[in-house]
């Protein structure tokens, strides 16, 4: 599949896809819940939660990576506790998943939230008057109507995770075969003589994947919206 790439480049590409896929899958349930909470509920501290969700978009990625290292490193309060159960994030590919997921989470939540907000809340109220429980209304009405946003958010989050660099390299370093994703590999190739060709191939691949993700998310969202609307 990647015959035109060197073994090192292929390794970085496959690891990036693995990290991006897992970060998207693991973030999705929480992303849907947070998006629904922000879209449908009013509570004290809502703006604070909204700010925390979008904070990774504003903070320098290195700051986010440093905070993750302080919290989830082996000496951190969360990382030290999890280490007792054999769960280690720092300097491992699972840490890259965590860093990529945190950085991509705001994009996912925003897309899903906008989709839920655009859905007619009167349909949920009508179902409530007919005796549907909160869980039934969510899974039968809200979730299907929000499906275009869920698909868009998932694809955008995958693309963002695929290209995450700052938080990842700060939290898990740049270890070949373990944490060296496409952006980290590009950075590494740029530091060695003769690595320009390898860096350029990965740059072209990253641009292609990002553009494909954007186009696919738009197309799938429109198709799903048409199905949901019965067209």
Q: Other C-beta atoms within 10 Å of 121: how many?
A: 14
In this prediction, residue 72 has a pLDDT band, given cuts at 50, 70 and 90, of very high
What residue numbers bound the domain in which 208 lies? Answer: 7-229
In a domain, 1, yes or no: no
In a domain, 145, yes or no: yes
In a domain, 83, yes or no: yes
Q: Other C-beta atoms within 10 Å of 212: how many?
A: 12
pLDDT at 137: 86
In this prediction, residue 62 has a pLDDT band, given cuts at 50, 70 and 90, of very high
In a domain, 103, yes or no: yes
What is d(CA 142, CA 31) in angstroms, rounded to the nearest whole number? 14
In a domain, 91, yes or no: yes
What confidence tens digit (pLDDT) does each residue in 85-137 have? Answer: 888 898 899 999 999 999 999 999 999 999 999 887 788 888 888 888 888 88
Looking at residues 12-39, what average pLDDT do you find?
A: 94
In a domain, 90, yes or no: yes
In sequence order, the 6+-apart residues with CB closer than 8 A to the CB of 145 are 115, 116, 119, 120, 123, 228
Question: What's the structural domain count of the chain?
Answer: 1
pLDDT at 1 over 60: no
pLDDT at 231 over 90: no
In a domain, 2, yes or no: no
In sequence order, the 6+-apart residues with CB closer than 8 A to the CB of 120 are 145
Looking at residues 6-18, what average pLDDT do you find?
A: 90
Round the average pLDDT of the chain to a whole number and report it. Answer: 89
In a domain, 121, yes or no: yes
pLDDT at 224 over 80: no
* CATH code of the domain covering residue 67: 1.10.3720.10
What confidence tens digit (pLDDT) does each residue in 149-205 have? Answer: 898 899 889 999 998 999 999 999 999 889 999 999 999 999 888 888 889 999 998
């Amino acid at each position: 599949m990647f015959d035109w790439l060197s073994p090192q480049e292929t390794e970085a590409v496959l690891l990036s896809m693995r990290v991006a896929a897992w970060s998207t899958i693991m973030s999705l349930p929480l992303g849907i819940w947070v998006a629904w909470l922000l879209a449908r509920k009013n509570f004290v501290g809502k703006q604070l939660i909204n700010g925390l969700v979008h904070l990774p978009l504003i903070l320098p990625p290195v700051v986010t990576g440093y905070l993750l290292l302080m919290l989830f490193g082996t000496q951190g309060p969360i990382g030290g506790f999890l280490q007792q159960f054999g769960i280690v994030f720092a300097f491992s590919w699972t840490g890259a998943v965590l860093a990529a997921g945190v950085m991509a989470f705001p994009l996912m939540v925003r897309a899903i939230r906008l989709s839920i907000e655009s859905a007619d809340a009167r349909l949920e109220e009508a179902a409530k008057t007919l005796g549907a429980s909160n869980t039934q209304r969510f899974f039968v009405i809200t979730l299907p109507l929000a499906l275009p946003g869920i698909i868009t958010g998932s694809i955008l989050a995958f693309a963002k995770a695929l290209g995450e660099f700052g938080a990842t390299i700060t939290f898990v370093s740049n270890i070949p075969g373990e944490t060296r994703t496409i952006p980290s590999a590009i950075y590494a190739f740029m530091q060695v003589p003769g690595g320009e060709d390898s860096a350029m191939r990965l740059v072209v691949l990253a641009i292609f994947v990002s553009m494909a993700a954007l186009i696919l998310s738009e197309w799938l969202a429109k198709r799903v919206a048409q199905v949901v609307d019965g067209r």
